[in-house]
Amino acid sequence: MRVDYAQKTRQVATKLVMAISESLGLEANYIHKALDLENGVQSLQSNCYPPCPQPDLAMGLPYHADRGHITLLTDNDFSGLQVLHNHKWVSVTSISNAFLVILADQMQIVTNGKYKGAMHRGRVNKESKRLSIASLHGPAFDTVVARSPELVERDGQARPLYSSIKFRDYFELQHRSRMDLTQELLEMIDNIHTFAKKLVKALYVFERAI
């Protein structure tokens, strides 16, 4: 059943990628070949968002862009996905028996920014438990992802918008920067804690002095 789901979502993703290629006036299998999707990596992520009494104070899944090139998302009919659009978070309404399609970073690179990787996050709600399943598709790990020279040339751009990077390096870089960010936040919390303790002590000394 799981293998079947993986195969079927891969077929849908392949068709969408072909349509995207064609929409740019490229050969249908241009992106498929450029990202070596025959050997592309694929993963399945399930997310569980329990009901939360104060949804405005909590975040289910922090904002991010997916690492691959395309994600097919489905959920148990409770909305919760938000997408960053024109600097504002926009809620996306779930549709029964349908996929929400999220384009990701590698699509942005290969199309030289014609298609954008969407920044998104998962919100919690008060009433219901939300479940979502993301079927994430990416290039083969050894692919050097580069903007399409055809698009750069056609647009008469003097320079490409993105430099080329091996997908494995990108994957590791993104993972590491998330870890670094977590570490930085932990250190910041630590510093605030120490500062608060010093402040309380200083106030105590001050109170006794007056």
Ligand X SMILES: O=C(O)CCC(=O)C(=O)O
Residue 68 touches which of ligand X, Fe ion, none (CB < 5 to 8 A by kind)?
A: none
Q: How far is the CB of 134 from Fe ion (least distance, A)?
A: 6
Binding partner selected for residue 122 from ligand X, Fe ion, none, CB under the kind-specific 5 to 8 Å limit: ligand X
Contact (Cβ atoms closer than 8 angstroms) between residue 134 and residue 45: yes
**Residues with Cβ within 8 Å of residue 165, at least 6 apart in sequence:** 109, 144, 145
Residue 45 interface partner, choices ligand X, Fe ion, none, CB cut-off 5-8 Å depending on type = ligand X
**Judged by CB under 6 A, does residue 37 bind ligand X?**
no
**Residue selected from 68, 122, 138, 139 as contacting ligand X according to rule CB under 6 A:** 122
Bridge partners (DSSP) of residue 134 are: 45, 73
Please give the Cα distance from 170 to 64 (Å, whole number).
Answer: 14
Contacting residues toward Fe ion, per CB under 5 A: 66
The whole-angstrom separation of Cα 102 and Cα 83 is 9
Kindly state whether residue 47 participates in binding ligand X, applying the rule CB under 6 A.
yes
Per rule CB under 6 A, is residue 81 in the interface with ligand X? yes
Interface with ligand X, residue 43, by CB under 6 A: no
d(CA 119, CA 98): 20
Please list every residue from 131 through 160 that binds ligand X, using CB under 6 A.
132, 134
Contact 133/71 with Cβ under 8 angstroms?
Answer: no
Q: Tell me the two tokens of residue 121.
A: 């996050």
Residue 94 touches ligand X, criterion: CB under 6 A: no
47 binds, among Fe ion, ligand X, none (CB under 5 to 8 A by kind): ligand X
Among 9, 20, 37, 66, binds ligand X (CB under 6 A): 66
Using CB under 6 A, which of 45, 91, 163, 177 touches ligand X? Answer: 45
Tell me the C-alpha distance between 175 and 160, whole Å: 25
Per the listing, tokens 């920067």 go with: 177
